[in-house]
Amino acid sequence: MTSEEKAQVVAELTEVIGRASGMYFADFSGMNAEQTTNLRRELRKNGVQFKVAKNTLIRRALQDTGKLTDDLSASLVGQTGVAFGFDDPVAPARVLKDFLEKNDNKPAVKLAYLEGVTYPGSQLKTVAALPTKKDVMASIVGSIAAPISGIAGVLGALQRDLVYLLDAIEKQKAEAA
């Protein structure tokens, strides 16, 4: 690989790493071509990019983006593929978890990096169980909207009760007359 090709790979990786909100480092050794193709297909179907590159090039791209940590550096051994999540940082974890269950725990997930926090590969199931960003946002909006809808309900009940009260007074006066 020429130095120009290496520079291009680092530039591509730097761009992808800069946009990613979640990265999953996996050792794909021991996987056959069919398994690798199926993994890439499943990841792509869920909006996840999967890149394979030399560890030194991945390390350089991580360093260029300022995301290189000791944990990430230590995980860059052997054959490394990186799954990148963009809108939903947990999406790759779900796909990888399902794929591992069907394929004899291959590829081996070394490490997950989600918005500045690293998780060991052994915690993949825990990470995959995290709610999506949309679910969290919906929960927050629901929490904010609940008191407002409660106030609207109380105000509506007050108006309804006032109408019932006036109606009861009118009936009482009609009966008295």
Digit-coded pLDDT (tens) for 62-89: 999 988 888 888 888 888 889 998 888 8
- Are 101 and 177 contained in the same domain? no
pLDDT for res 88: 82
- Are 19 and 96 contained in the same domain? yes
Rg (CA), the chain: 27
- Are 18 and 68 contained in the same domain? yes
Burial class (CB in 10 A: 0-12, 13-18, 19+), 107: buried
State which amino acid sits at residue 103.
Answer: N
- Are 93 and 120 contained in the same domain? yes
Asked if pLDDT for residue 41 goes beyond 80, the answer is yes
Assign 3-class secondary structure to 8-42. HHHHHHHHHHHHCCEEEEEECCCCCHHHHHHHHHH
pLDDT for res 57: 92
Q: Which domain holds residue 96?
A: 3-130
Task: Please give the Cα distance from 112 to 119 (Å, whole number).
Answer: 5
- Are 51 and 117 contained in the same domain? yes
Q: How many domains does the chain contain in total?
A: 2
Q: What is the pLDDT of residues 116-173, one digit of tens each?
A: 888 888 877 877 777 777 776 777 777 776 666 666 666 666 677 667 777 778 888 8
- In this structure, what DSSP letter does residue 121 have? G
pTM of the model: 0.72
- Are 124 and 147 contained in the same domain? no
- Are 121 and 159 contained in the same domain? no
At 60, the pLDDT band (50, 70, 90 cuts) reads very high
- Are 124 and 138 contained in the same domain? no
- Are 75 and 44 contained in the same domain? yes
Task: Please give the Cα distance from 47 to 1 (Å, whole number).
Answer: 29
Mean pLDDT of 16-45: 87
